C-alpha cells in the first residue's frame, strides 16, 4: 500500500496527519525500528529508543511532532503514534472475512442468519439462533440454541456459546473460549454434592474482545454481564453472576469468583484473584498477582495479598526485605537487656 493511501485512509478516519517525505513509498508490513527496511512502517513513542529512530531503515515511521527532526526517513506525524500505528497495522493486516457457508457446517433450519454471515467447516449452529450482518463463525465453533450474535463479530475456531447467551456488535471471541458454560453451583447434602442448575445467561456488550480459552460462566439465576468496550486476555475465568464494567481490561490467568462486580474503566494485571460477592469501584487498578479479598470503594492502584493501596504495599515490601536485619537487631538488643538485668 502506498504511503499516500495510508495517510488518506487515516484522514478519512478523522486523524490529523502530517506526511513528511515521499508519498510513494510502498509499505507492505509493520516492523520495529531496528528490524525494518524500505517496505515496512514502524512507530516511535518512547524517547529511550531515540538512537533506534535516528538509525532506522524503515520505509516510514509514525511519530509525534516533537521527534520529527530526528527521523531520517519519511514520516507520519500525529499526536498519538501508538493509536495510529494500531490503525495502520489493521490496514495492512485485514481480518479474514467470508460470506460463504461451508457444506460441512451444520445450520438448523430455524436459525436466522443474515446474508453476509460466513460459516466455516464443522461449525454447528443450533435452533433459534440469530446472527446479524458481517459476522464470521469459524471452523468447529458451536452456537447453541437461542443464542443471539450481533453485527461484525468474529467467533473463532472451537468456541462454544451456550444456549440463550447474547453477544453484542463488534465482538471477537478467540479460539477455544467457552461462553455460558455452567457456573460452579453445588449444594452439599450430608456429604454428597448436588448439582444446582444454572439458569441465567451470559450477556456481552458491544466492542468486546475475549481471548483464547477464556471461560465465562452463565449466571446461577441472574445473568453474568460483560459491558461494552472490555478487553479480556487469554485464560481468564469469570464465574457466575460476575459483572465487568465497561471499558475494563483484564490480563491473562485472572480469576473472578461468583457475584464479583468490577467497576468501569478498571485494569487488572495477570494472575489477579477476586473472591466472591465483592464490589470494586470504578477506575481501580490491580498489579500482578494481587488478591482482592474484600470490596474496594476508593479508586486507585492496589497490590499484594490481600490487596491494599500500592503505596502501603511498597512500604510493607521494603520492611519485609529488612525482616532478617531487624530480627538480628532485636536479638542483639535483647542480649544487651539481659546483660543489664543480670548485673542488677
Residues designated as active site: 240
Q: Quick one: DSSP state of residue 95?
A: P
CA nearest to 291, candidates 269, 307, 313: 307
CB atoms within 10 A of CB 168: 20
Q: Are strands 192-195 and 186-189 parallel, antiparallel or unpaired?
A: antiparallel
- Identify the residue whose cell numbers are 468456541: 159
Beta strand residue intervals within 127-208, DSSP E: 130-131, 136-137, 142-143, 148-149, 154-155, 160-161, 166-167, 172-173, 178-181, 186-189, 192-195, 202-204
Q: How does 75-113 read in b/e, with b if 16+ C-beta sit within 10 Å?
A: bbbbeebeebbebbeebeeeeeeeeebbeebebeeebeb
In angstroms, rounded to a whole number, what is the distance separating the alpha carbons of residues 272 and 237?
11
Report whether 135 contacts 141 (CB < 8 A). no
| DSSP structure class, residue 101 | B
- CA-nearest of 272, 254, 162, 264 to 214 is 254
Nearest CA among 202, 290, 275, 206 for reference residue 240: 202
If phi > 0 it is left, if psi is from -120 to 50 it is alpha, else beta; for residue 38 that is: alpha
Amino acid at each position: 500500500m502506498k504511503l499516500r493511501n495510508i495517510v488518506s485512509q487515516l484522514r478519512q478516519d478523522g486523524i490529523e496527519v502530517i506526511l513528511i517525505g515521499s508519498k510513494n513509498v510502498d509499505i507492505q508490513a509493520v516492523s520495529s525500528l531496528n528490524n525494518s527496511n524500505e517496505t515496512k512502517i514502524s512507530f516511535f513513542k518512547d524517547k529511550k529508543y531515540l538512537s533506534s529512530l535516528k538509525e532506522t531503515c524503515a520505509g516510514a515511521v509514525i511519530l509525534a511532532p516533537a521527534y520529527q527532526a530526528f527521523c531520517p526517513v519519511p514520516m507520519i506525524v500525529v499526536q498519538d503514534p501508538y493509536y495510529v500505528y494500531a490503525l495502520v497495522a489493521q490496514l495492512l493486516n485485514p481480518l479474514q472475512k467470508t460470506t460463504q457457508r461451508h457444506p460441512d457446517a451444520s445450520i438448523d433450519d430455524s436459525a436466522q442468519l443474515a446474508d453476509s454471515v460466513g460459516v466455516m467447516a464443522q461449525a454447528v449452529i443450533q435452533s433459534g439462533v440469530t446472527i446479524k450482518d458481517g459476522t464470521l463463525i469459524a471452523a468447529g465453533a458451536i452456537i447453541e440454541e437461542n443464542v443471539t450474535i450481533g453485527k461484525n463479530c468474529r467467533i473463532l475456531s472451537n468456541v462454544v456459546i451456550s444456549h440463550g447467551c447474547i453477544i453484542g456488535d463488534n465482538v471477537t471471541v478467540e479460539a477455544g473460549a467457552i461462553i455460558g458454560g455452567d457456573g460452579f453451583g453445588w449444594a452439599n447434602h450430608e456429604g454428597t454434592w448436588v448439582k444446582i442448575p444454572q439458569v441465567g445467561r451470559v450477556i456481552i456488550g458491544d466492542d468486546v474482545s475475549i481471548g483464547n480459552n477464556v471461560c465465562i460462566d452463565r449466571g446461577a439465576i441472574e445473568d453474568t454481564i460483560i459491558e461494552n468496550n472490555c478487553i479480556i486476555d487469554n485464560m481468564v475465568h469469570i464465574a457466575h453472576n460476575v459483572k465487568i464494567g465497561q471499558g475494563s481490561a483484564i490480563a491473562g490467568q485472572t480469576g473472578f469468583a461468583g457475584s464479583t462486580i468490577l467497576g468501569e474503566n478498571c485494569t487488572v494485571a495477570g494472575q489477579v484473584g477476586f473472591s466472591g460477592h465483592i464490589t470494586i469501584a470504578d477506575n481501580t487498578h490491580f498489579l500482578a498477582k494481587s488478591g482482592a479479598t474484600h470490596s474496594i470503594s476508593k479508586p486507585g492502584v492496589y497490590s499484594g495479598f490481600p490487596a491494599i493501596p500500592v503505596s502501603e504495599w511498597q512500604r510493607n515490601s521494603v520492611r519485609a526485605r529488612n525482616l532478617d536485619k531487624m530480627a538480628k537487631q532485636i536479638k542483639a538488643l535483647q542480649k544487651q537487656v539481659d546483660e543489664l538485668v543480670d548485673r542488677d
